[in-house]
């Protein structure tokens, strides 16, 4: 089976955090998550307020972020360029006056604007705005002295199962898309 080419360079795009005051319940839930979802110790971690490696635990794939930056920009710029050329061809076929009278200028403008649009989308993807609520909630909980169970799921299905387990255990949950 051939691997899909992903825009992101991270192995686990789907993250979820479970927040609780009860550290014993958090420890038991970590074991349950690892067992039921067949995830490694690195994929399911318990963060306590006194832990030093908070940032690395929440976002462990620093190399993956660089891959996301490159892949996202290259692929989305390419898609933007293709869309620009397709829009140009459609406008040429529809005999849009400016495009017919100035094909070089119109083609270059559409190509450039759509390519830049793709690059902007690549930048938005790299910033990972879906991670902000996850990171803010986890760090705030740690500052309040709460325990945080962090799950780095490799699939959306694993993320949904982890959320269900955390919800059943009475945790407040927040995750990425």
| One pLDDT digit (tens) per residue for the chain, 177 residues | 344 556 665 666 789 999 999 999 999 999 999 999 999 898 999 999 999 888 888 887 766 778 888 888 999 999 999 999 999 999 999 999 999 999 999 999 999 999 999 999 999 888 888 888 999 999 999 999 999 999 998 888 999 999 999 999 999 999 987
- What is the structure's pLDDT at 96? 96
pLDDT at 12: 62
Domain boundaries, the chain: 14-60+129-175, 64-127
Q: Which residues contact 108 (CB under 8 A, 6 or more apart)?
A: none
Closest-CA residue to 19 (of 156, 136, 161) = 136
Element (H, E) at 152: strand 147-153
Comparing CA positions, the residue from 176, 168, 172 lying closest to residue 58 is 176
CA distance 116 to 149: 39
Alpha helices by DSSP H, the chain: 23-37, 54-58, 62-93, 97-101, 103-127, 132-143, 156-168
CATH class of the region 14-60+129-175: alpha beta
Rg of the chain over Cα atoms, rounded to whole angstroms, equals 22
Q: CA of 96: how far to CAs of 15, 43, 81, 109, in Å?
A: 47, 55, 20, 15
Structure confidence at residue 62 (pLDDT): 67
């Amino acid at each position: 089976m051939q691997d899909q080419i992903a825009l992101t360079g991270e192995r686990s795009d789907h993250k979820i955090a479970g927040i609780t005051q009860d550290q014993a319940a958090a420890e038991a839930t970590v074991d349950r998550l690892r067992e039921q979802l067949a995830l490694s110790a690195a994929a399911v971690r318990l963060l306590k307020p006194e832990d030093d490696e908070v940032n690395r635990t929440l976002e462990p794939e620093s190399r993956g972020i660089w891959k996301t930056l490159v892949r996202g920009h290259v692929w989305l710029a390419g898609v933007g360029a293709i869309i620009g050329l397709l829009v140009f061809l459609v406008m040429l076929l529809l005999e849009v006056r400016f495009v017919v009278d100035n094909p070089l200028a119109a083609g270059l403008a559409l190509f450039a604007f759509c390519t830049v649009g793709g690059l902007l989308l690549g930048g938005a993807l790299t910033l990972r705005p879906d991670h902000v609520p996850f990171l803010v909630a986890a760090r705030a909980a740690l500052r309040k002295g709460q325990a945080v169970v962090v799950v780095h799921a490799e699939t959306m299905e694993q993320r949904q199962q982890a959320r269900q387990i955390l919800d059943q255990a009475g945790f407040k949950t927040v995750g990425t898309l």
